Amino acid sequence: MGGRRAFITGVTGQDGSYLAELLLKKGYEVFGLVRRLSSPNMSNLQTVREELHTLDGDLTDQSSLSHAVKLADPEEVYNLAAQSFVATSFSQPVLTGEITGLGVIRLLEAVRAHNPSVKFYQASSSEMFGHIAQEPQDETTPFHPRSPYGVAKVYAYWACVNYREAYGLPISNGILFNHESPRRGLEFVTRKISDGVARIALGKADSITLGNLEARRDWGYAPDYVDLMWRTLQQSEPGDFVGATGEAHTVREFLQEAFKVAGIENWEGHVKTDPKFNRPAEVYALRGNPAKAKRVLGWEPKVRFKELVRIMVRADLERLSKGQSGA
Ligand code: NAP
Ligand code: G4F
């Protein structure tokens, strides 16, 4: 008690849970927004349950956000909540716009009314680059989103820039490239692969079915990226920062490496493809240039591709061999 106060939306998600751990270790008092679900989803918060203050609320409900911000009375706000799965944004585009786009304006309004000096971090995304205009992408690369999710993130990004310019609020965007971990949702491709490969290795499944194996991503490790978020809000001036490894690999390469970690040869026989996993518009390749984050924030990702794959496959092997089926 008595340390700096931070408020995290999306605290039950991958990044929110790692960020809560990081801030608690730094001595912050941490408040996390949790929405009501029919089955509570607190599995990522096992390490912080005792210390974390949870507050009820939802990014689609203005009054709950205003109330939560007032109760938390934070110096730093990290807006990580979103409908974050690109494929679902095609089947639920309006909901995605409500949460991932308009939800940000609702939270900005709650913060502006409560205390305009609060430092605000927005979880912007490399999905905004979409149909890429240059390689690698940095803070100056134009946006061309390819999904309702990407469109909503562009709206949210510009809302943050606009509130910074219009009202002088200390708002920053982290434009983060894909980052993964054993806490990644099972529907995202890296976790679908690490979970699938572990099941095959343990004799619980025979194959994995995927979409586009040639898609290329700049994959990093989530705990490295929450450190970037914190560093961003320690600056005296707000700004926008790309977080990336600078290295890109295909889904096929991720598969190859994951089967290697599990000691399985002839991996192609265990992989099927189904066009139902293809997207109406695909982001074929993303690779970031994190030079500004390195120069200004002193940030560099520690975990690289092969180690990331090893961490994820080993974690799923361990979880499944203990007979735990959930994430
Ligand atoms: P995630 O695991 O999907 O977590 C999303 C969080 O948002 C969950 O806590 C979820 O709560 C919450 N949420 C969803 N709808 C909500 C609503 N209506 N009201 C309040 N909370 C709501 O995502 P992540 O990977 O940690 O990513 C964190 C943020 O960074 C997201 O904004 C994502 O779009 C962005 N981002 C992620 C990456 C990446 O590679 N991971 C890269 C760039 C940007 P429930 O648990 O209740 O569902
Ligand atoms: O793992 P993905 O679903 O992640 P995606 O679409 O890159 O989005 C993630 O990263 C963004 C940052 O750029 C975040 F903003 C966003 O919130 C999310 O965290 O898919 C990665 C690639 C895609 O090209 C997809 O088409 O993998 C390809 N893929 C191939 N087969 C598949 C599959 N993706 C999924 N989810 N499932 C498949 O079976």
Q: Render each residue's pLDDT in the chain as its tens digit; 327 residues.
A: 568 999 999 999 999 999 999 999 999 999 999 999 999 999 999 999 999 999 999 999 999 999 999 999 999 999 999 999 999 999 999 999 999 999 999 999 999 999 999 999 999 999 999 999 999 999 999 999 999 999 999 999 999 999 999 999 999 999 999 999 999 999 999 999 999 999 999 999 999 999 999 999 999 999 999 999 999 999 999 999 999 999 999 999 999 999 999 999 999 999 999 999 999 999 999 999 999 999 999 999 999 999 999 999 999 999 999 987 555
pTM greater than the 0.95 cutoff: yes
Q: How many domains does the chain have?
A: 2
Q: Is residue 133 part of a domain?
A: yes
With respect to residue 139, please indicate whether it lies within any of the assigned structural domains: yes
Are 30 and 75 within one domain?
A: yes
Do 144 and 29 share a structural domain? yes
Q: H/E/C letters for each residue in 39-100?
A: CCCCHHHCCCCCCCEEEECCCCCHHHHHHHHHHHCCCEEEECCCCCCHHHHHHCHHHHHHHH
Does residue 292 fall inside a structural domain? no
Residue 65 lies in a domain: yes
Q: Is the Cβ atom of 127 under 6 angstroms away from ligand 2?
A: yes
| 10 and 46 together in one domain | yes
Q: Which of 86, 122, 252, 279 to mutate for ligand 2's pocket (most ligand atoms within 8 Å of CB)?
A: 86
* Whether residue 214 is found in the same domain as residue 160: no
Asked if 124 and 191 sit in the same domain, the reply is no
Parent domain of 209: 185-218+248-286+304-321
Is residue 314 in some structural domain? yes
Question: Which of 199, 183, 188, 165 is CA-nearest to residue 271?
Answer: 199
73 occurs within a structural domain: yes
Q: According to the model, what pLDDT value does residue 327 have?
A: 53
Same domain, 41 and 143: yes
What's the 83 CA to ligand 1 centre distance in angstroms?
Answer: 6
- Of the listed ligands, the closest to the CA of 284 is 2
> How many angstroms separate the alpha carbon of residue 87 from the centre of ligand 2?
8
For atom 33 of ligand 1, which residue has the closest CA?
A: 84
Instruction: Let me know whether 142 and 59 are in one domain.
Output: yes
Q: What is the CATH number of the domain that holds 317?
A: 3.90.25.10
Cα 168 to ligand 2 centroid, rounded to whole Å: 35
Q: Which ligand is nearest to the CA of 217?
A: 2
Q: At what angle do helices 103-114 and 148-167 cross, to 10 degrees?
A: 20
| Res 98: pLDDT | 98
Q: How far apart are CA 312 and CA 261, in angstroms?
A: 10
The pLDDT of residue 323 is 84
Q: In the prediction, which pLDDT does 325 show?
A: 59
**127 catalytic per annotation:** yes
Ligand 2 centroid – CA 188 distance (Å): 6
- Are residues 124 and 212 located together in one domain of the fold? no
Residues with CB under 6 A from ligand 1: 9-10, 12-16, 33, 35, 37, 41, 58-60, 80-84, 99, 123, 125, 176, 178-179, 185
Statement to judge: residues 204 and 99 lie in one domain: no
Ligand 1 centroid vs 301 CA: distance in angstroms? 21
Judge if the beta carbon of residue 155 lies within 6 A of ligand 2.
Answer: no
Q: Which of 323, 311, 302, 279 is nearest to 127 (CA)?
A: 279
Q: Judge whether 311 and 182 are in contact, CB under 8 Å.
A: yes
Q: Token digits for 3?
A: 């340390």
Q: Which atom of ligand 1 is nearest to the CA of 11?
A: 9
228 lies in the same domain as 203: no
**Rounded distance, CA 327 to CA 325, Å?**
7
- pLDDT at position 326 is 56
Per-residue pLDDT at 3: 84
Catalytic one of 28, 121, 149, 155 = 149
Residue 150 CA to ligand 1 centre (angstroms): 14
Q: Looking at residue 96, which CATH number applies to its domain?
A: 3.40.50.720
Residue closest by Cα to atom 19 of ligand 1: 58
Q: Is the domain of 138 the same as that of 204? A: no
Considering the candidates 125, 126, 147, 181, report the single residue annotated as catalytic: 125
Atom 5 of ligand 2, residue of closest alpha carbon:
86
Q: How far apart are CA 249 and CA 219, in angstroms?
A: 8
Catalytic choice (127, 147, 180, 221): 127
Does a structural domain hold residue 192?
yes
Atom of ligand 1 nearest to the CA of 14: 26
Same domain assignment for residues 190 and 140: no
Q: Return the pLDDT at 27.
A: 98
